[in-house]
Amino acid sequence: MAVTDHVDFATFMEGLKKRNEGQPEFVQAVQEVAQDVFEFIADKEAYHTAQILRRIAEPDRVVSFRVCWEDDNHNIRVQRGWRVQNNNAIGPYKGGLRFHPSVTESVLKFLAFEQTFKNSLTGLPMGGGKGGSNFNPKGKSDSEVMRFCQSFMTELYRHVGPDTDVPAGDIGVGGREIGYMFGQYKRITNRWEGVLTGKGKEFGGSDLRPEATGYGAVYFLQNMLKHSGEDVEGKTAVISGSGNVATHAAEKILQLGGKVLTLSDSGGFIHDPDGLSQEKIDWVKEHKTLRRGRIKDYTKEFPTATFHEGKRPWSVAADLALPCATQNELDADDAKTLVANGVRAVSEGANMPTTLEGVHVFHEANLLYGPGKAANAGGVAVSGLEMSQNAGRISWDNERLEVLLTDIMGQIHNQCVEYGENSGKVVNYVKGANIAGFKKVADAMLSYGVV
Ligand code: NDP
């Protein structure tokens, strides 16, 4: 007779913490999902018997490797690289590469776990993975970045492939780094194939990929507002970050008739009470990406703005908030400040930017809160479309891709509404995203049996 092991949420979390000691980001990410999933599967025996959540919360594999490279002064440098392949039940592993000194195995495991649910929500056949290195591209010459990327790919190529695992960019990995890594993959394997997304348009990159995450986060926000009978038009927004996601989110808010008041980087934030025009956003893009400059220089160029050193933008009063920099950049106090200032909706462009305590504050305040795994899925969705274009040796134009992106974000929103209904309160988008993302992966796993 089969003995069914029905562990409860507390016992599950206790075991998870024991098995993942010293990995707080990973534990935080699993905890947030597990709460909702336990409620959902309470009366669903099959998921318990097959230990589905326990299996999703144990990566299929974590590859860790040495990355050795030579700097411009001929010093030999040693970094650590990782690829976390979390789950490929519904498609090849898919998720970005992050190059940043804060990268650890815990951070990448949390991101790969989140990615599994996010990719499931897009409706496209993609599993979840994430990778990267503690390498800091800041202040490095192009040649140093090239040598690092080549060395990184010299190991990574064994673990990836268009039907196995398809990485993309993330913090510190943009078009330049993807180009160097794709070149090295092609050189080693002698194959031109869609092994990375976020490529340059000349070599198989999709139109709209750079814009997709930021635009998608705003489309998600627009869907949440519309569901509550409101719109972006005429509303003010505070945005953190000044990288790929933040600048494109700002651009889309502007296009939809909103006014963006802030951007930031790890040095502080700028507050522009006149709002960011397209010209100002273009200046930030160029300054941060091409010149690799700091956001504080914005005030020299546009003197009506002020710079707030070492601070985050959440104290500036606005209707909308879009955290688009990094994880845990918005805590309970920040959330309380936003609520006190009358924020109406929060849409996360970054991954897990709000702490668990911050999320509680938003839920208590009954405001519209779109978690990253749903709100920022537009990037990976267009990456999925890049994979389709590469496989079919075709390319779609911007117009067609924007229609597809808009549709996908609308579908993600609808799934969240379906599973996140919240008796009289606004939709619980966290619960909706967790359950909808989980269900598809879990059902695929059930079909495979015990593997
Ligand atoms: P970029 O590297 O282009 O930009 C990151 C931005 O965040 C920079 O402005 C950076 O400032 C700032 N930042 C980084 N660390 C900190 C910190 N500790 N405190 C304050 N600011 C910080 O990255 P992306 O825009 O691509 O990614 C931003 C977020 O969006 C990440 O969480 C990423 O995982 C997520 N995301 C990205 C996707 C994509 O398609 N790019 C897809 C889905 C999610 P500085 O220049 O000072 O380092």
The residue whose CA has the least distance to atom 4 of ligand 1 is: 243
Instruction: Please tell me which residue in 94, 109, 118, 130 is annotated as part of the active site.
Output: 130
The residue whose CA has the least distance to atom 10 of ligand 1 is: 265
Q: What is the pLDDT of residues 289-336, one digit of tens each?
A: 888 899 999 999 999 999 999 999 999 999 999 999 999 999 999 999
Q: Let me know if 138 is a catalytic residue.
A: no
CA 70 to ligand 1 centroid distance, Å: 26
The residue whose CA has the least distance to atom 28 of ligand 1 is: 325
Of ligand 1's listed atoms, the one at least distance from the Cα of 372 is: 44
pLDDT value of position 181: 98
Q: What is the pLDDT of residues 60-69, one digit of tens each?
A: 999 999 999 9
CA 292 to ligand 1 centroid distance, Å: 13
pTM over 0.75? The answer is yes
Q: What is the pLDDT of residues 401-418, one digit of tens each?
A: 999 999 999 999 999 999
**CA-to-CA distance for 151 and 81, rounded, in angstroms?**
10
Across 436-449, average pLDDT: 98
Of ligand 1's listed atoms, the one at least distance from the Cα of 213 is: 40
CA nearest to 88, candidates 110, 56, 111:
56
Superfamily of domain 210-377: NAD(P)-binding Rossmann-like Domain (3.40.50.720)
pLDDT value of position 4: 52
Site to substitute for ligand 1 among 119, 220, 245, most atoms within 8 A of C-beta: 245
The residue whose CA has the least distance to atom 27 of ligand 1 is: 171
Tokens 């949420």 belong to 9
CA 225 to ligand 1 centroid distance, Å: 25
Each domain of the chain, given as residue ranges in start order, spans 1-57+438-451, 61-194, 210-377
Q: Do domains 61-194 and 210-377 have the same CATH topology?
A: yes
Q: What is the pLDDT of residues 201-212, one digit of tens each?
A: 999 999 999 999
Of ligand 1's listed atoms, the one at least distance from the Cα of 247 is: 25
**CA-to-CA distance for 382 and 394, rounded, in angstroms?**
14
The residue whose CA has the least distance to atom 3 of ligand 1 is: 243
Pocket of ligand 1 (CB under 6 A): 169-172, 213, 241-246, 264-267, 324-326, 329, 349-351, 376, 379
The hierarchical CATH code for the domain 61-194 is 3.40.50.10860
For all residues of the chain together, what is the average pLDDT? 96
Q: What is the pLDDT of residues 12-54, one digit of tens each?
A: 999 999 999 999 999 999 999 999 999 999 999 999 999 999 9
Q: At residue 73, what is the residue type?
A: N
